[in-house]
Amino acid sequence: MMQAFEDFQKFGKENLDLAVKAFGAQQKGVQAIATEVADYSKKAIEAGSATFEKLAGVKTLDKAIEIQSDYAKSAYEGFVAHATKVGELVNELAKESFKPLEAAFSKVQAK
């Protein structure tokens, strides 16, 4: 009876440790994603403001179209790079979050 209680207690501690590890991995991943989104947002706002300032001083329509086209191109490229980076971070988050669980599942399958 006492051995069963000790086994149950050990099982509970192992599961708690797994949950803490998984939560820690998730926390790091979410923080990395939030940092990336904040950095991208800041850069996008700065680029938009700089473009607006350039457009405010333009004398010809051709120059305004050129500035707007350059901005649209760089904004698109920046967004694609940002989306790729966030996708990689989300993928890494999923991998790191499930690593502790993989170890637990492999233990269960081995028994």
Domain ranges for the chain, please list them: 14-110
CA 53 vs CA 59, 71, 74: distances in Å: 13, 12, 16
Note the pLDDT tens digit of each residue in 34-62. 999 999 999 999 999 999 999 999 999 99
What single-letter amino acid sits at 73? K
Mean pLDDT of 94-98: 84
Which has more confidence, 27 or 80? 80
Residue 8 has pLDDT above 90, yes or no: no
User: What confidence score (pLDDT) does residue 98 get?
Assistant: 80
* In the block, residue with structure tokens 């991943």: 29
User: What confidence score (pLDDT) does residue 52 get?
Assistant: 95
Q: Indicate the pTM of the whole model.
A: 0.73
- Sign of the C-alpha dihedral computed for residues 45, 47, 50 and 55 taken in this order: negative
User: What confidence score (pLDDT) does residue 14 get?
Assistant: 74
